[in-house]
């Protein structure tokens, strides 16, 4: 696990804000009738032509994977993560995660949010509750981060809140160190036990990105080799931030004007 210098974290801060600003930009387009492929194209063009960033997912090919064919991930309803944009048309009340990773000056910024096509009023009570609880899980995980805390403190906080609300935590995918590389050490599990795992130190930078299912935790992969869905076809939600550990606590790097705030901050 690498420790990043102040100058390196400044590079990550820029990349993180730009990733979040892609989500600000795309928000008004997430409406019934739009296709996930159109959302991908709009984000791609904004990153490349407006921001001068590189969409990290495009052609990303970790070992054993076919290169990822698009510039963002769009995971709809029972899709958990890594949904590949295409011809799918968003219907009123669909829920969708848009996951954006940009590269700026070699540094990666990685963040995702949930949306309801047609707005919250169009979504089911269950969908809205799943989205809210998952957002709270992310911020409870962030609140557990400070020097001397353990990685397990993050997972434990997330797991407890998800399960107390009758939901389940996806085990197969986790948060990750991030920097010059998209996915670095450590693995940040979204379940676990308080007091266990790596001790957190200032200068560590990683993502927290809980995937929470309304039904059972099990997932499977679609034949496209990327899209992950719930086995029981229940709804799934995810939110993601990139964070840096500071001398006194934590700094969220993927914030921007329209990023939803910490729900526990008064």
In the complex, the residues that contact Co ion under the rule CB under 5 A are 99, 110, 207, 209, 240
Inter-residue contact 214 to 233 (CB < 8 Å): no
Q: How are the residues of the chain apportioned to helix, strand and coil, as percentages rounded to the nearest 5?
A: 30, 25, 45
Q: Least distance (Å) from ligand MF3 to the CB of residue 236?
A: 14
Residue 8's binding partner among ligand MF3, Co ion, none (Cβ under 5 to 8 angstroms by kind) is none
Interacting residues toward ligand MF3 by CB under 6 A: 57, 60, 68, 73, 82, 99, 101, 110, 207, 209, 226, 240
Which residue's CB comes closest to ligand MF3?
A: 57
68 interacts with, out of ligand MF3, Co ion, none, CB within 5 to 8 A per kind: ligand MF3
Residue placing its CB nearer to ligand MF3 in the complex, 19 or 123: 19
Q: Specify the residue, 33 or 260, whose C-beta has the smaller distance to ligand MF3.
A: 260
- 82 contact, one of ligand MF3, Co ion, none, CB 5-8 Å limit per kind: ligand MF3
The distance of closest approach from Cβ of residue 65 to ligand MF3 in the complex, given in angstroms and rounded to an integer, is 7
Cβ atoms of 75 and 82 closer than 8 Å: yes
Nearest to 263 by CA among 152, 154, 133, 146: 133
CA distance 142 to 21: 20
Hey, which residues does 112 pair with through a beta bridge? Answer: 99, 240
Q: Which does 29 bind (CB under 5 to 8 A by kind): ligand MF3, Co ion, none?
A: none
Q: What are phi and psi of 168, to 5 degrees?
A: -130, 150
**CA dist 127 → 53, 161, 193, 262 (Å):** 33, 16, 28, 20
Q: Quick one: which H or E segment has residue 112?
A: strand 107-116
Q: Which does 236 bind (CB under 5 to 8 A by kind): ligand MF3, Co ion, none?
A: none
Nearest-approach distance from CB 208 to ligand MF3, in angstroms: 10
Residue whose CB is less far from ligand MF3, 29 or 60 = 60
Q: How far is the CB of 207 from Co ion (least distance, A)?
A: 4
Tell the smallest beta-carbon distance from residue 101 to Co ion (Å): 5
Q: Residue 52 burial by CB count (10 A; 0-12/13-18/19+): exposed, middle or buried?
A: exposed
Which of ligand MF3, Co ion, none does 150 bind, CB closer than 5 to 8 A by kind?
none
* Tokens standing for residue 41: 């194209």
Cβ(234)–Cβ(213) under 8 Å? yes
Count of beta carbons in the 10 Å neighbourhood of residue 92: 14
Q: How far is the CB of 195 from ligand MF3 (least distance, A)?
A: 26
In the bound state with Co ion, the residue whose beta carbon lies nearer, of 100 and 235, is 100
């Amino acid at each position: 696990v690498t420790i990043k210098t102040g100058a390196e974290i400044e590079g990550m801060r820029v990349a993180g804000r730009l990733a979040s600003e892609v989500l600000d930009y795309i928000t008004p387009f997430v409406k019934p009738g739009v296709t996930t492929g159109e959302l991908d194209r709009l984000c791609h063009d904004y990153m490349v032509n407006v921001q001068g960033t590189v969409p990290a997912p495009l052609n990303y090919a970790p070992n054993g994977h076919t290169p990822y064919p698009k510039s963002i991930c769009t995971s709809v309803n029972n899709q958990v993560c890594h949904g590949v944009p295409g011809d799918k048309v968003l219907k009123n009340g669909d829920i969708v995660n848009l996951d954006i990773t940009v590269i700026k000056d070699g540094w990666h910024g990685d963040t995702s949010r949930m949306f309801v096509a047609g707005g919250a009023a169009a979504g089911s009570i269950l969908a809205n509750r799943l989205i809210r609880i998952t957002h709270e899980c992310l911020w409870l995980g962030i609140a557990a981060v400070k020097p001397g805390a353990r990685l397990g403190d993050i997972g434990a906080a997330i797991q407890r809140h998800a399960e107390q609300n009758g939901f389940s935590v996806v085990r197969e995918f986790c948060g990750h160190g991030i920097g010059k590389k998209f996915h670095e050490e450590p693995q940040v599990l979204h379940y676990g036990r308080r007091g266990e795992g790596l001790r957190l130190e200032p200068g560590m930078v990683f993502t927290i990105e809980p995937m929470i299912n309304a039904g059972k935790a099990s997932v499977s992969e679609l034949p496209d080799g990327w899209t992950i869905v719930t086995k029981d076809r229940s709804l799934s939600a995810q939110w993601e931030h990139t964070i840096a550990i500071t001398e006194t606590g934590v700094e969220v790097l993927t914030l921007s004007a329209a990023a939803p705030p910490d729900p526990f901050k008064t």
